[in-house]
Structure 1
Amino acid sequence: MAARGRECSIAEALEVVGERWSLVALREVMLGERRFNQIAENTGASRDILAARLRKLVDAGVLEKRQYEDHPPRFEYLPTEAARALQPILIGLMQWGDKYVHQGPPPTVYGHDCGEELKLATSCAHCGEPLKPGSTRTVRLGAVR
């Protein structure tokens, strides 16, 4: 009998987007690339792997696949609300990679409507205090306090 792990929405989310080619394909769509050939070129993924990852993202409701040409049939991939909700996670992961993994200046930045480079900042929705190392604790929902 296999051991049961803790029920966790992080693990469930990773089933949908927790693979390199899924995340970089999503990055490309969020950067405005919509067509398969351009996504393939920018990610470096093999065409069969990329097709499988895009299909999984479409099936999960993260992307929408829409036909834009009839002869031959050609499709584009559009972000859904679920994809747009992932944008802060992608930006946070990118910022983490820029600081702890990537050597040199960041290869990609996101600009904000105000004209500045967008930097993700996390704060408490209740009090507005910024998140700092050591300022959080784990709380199990439904646990006796």
Structure 2
Amino acid sequence: MKAAVVLVLLGVLATLALGETAIPGGPPLDARAFDALTLGKRMDTFDPFTLYGIEEFLLGQRALWKDASGCKSATWEQVGNQICFYYEDAPEAPDCWIYNIHEGELWGWYEGRTDGPVVRIVPGDSPMNCSFLGA
């Protein structure tokens, strides 16, 4: 048991020494894999504690987002190893995420900060209740 703990600690220290942060679940998803998991689905987005948004993924790398402040449309694309969303209210300032699969769920890290809080994105049936369909 002690040997296993020592090996884990050595692995963590080696990762920190190299300046890398391990991503649970494996490598980041590319655009094709992300699209395959989300296209045509409504996904509930949870921070570590609660549901904070709903996103519906449409054809052509488009999406509708709803949170407490309302609804907005977006397009998305892969930029490096991140998926970046260009929302209608600030297309010049994309929201970029690293996504991968962990324990059967889609997980995301904002701006690729894998040492920061993780969000979970799971298929859901929460209502969008948006007054527009133009995305």
Task: Tell me, yes or no, whether TM beats 0.5.
Answer: no
Q: Indicate the structure with greater strand content.
A: 2
> TM (normalized to structure 1)?
0.21
Report the TM-score, using the length of structure 2 for normalisation. Answer: 0.22
Larger Rg: 1
Higher helix share: 1
Higher relative contact order (CA 8 A, sep 6+): 2
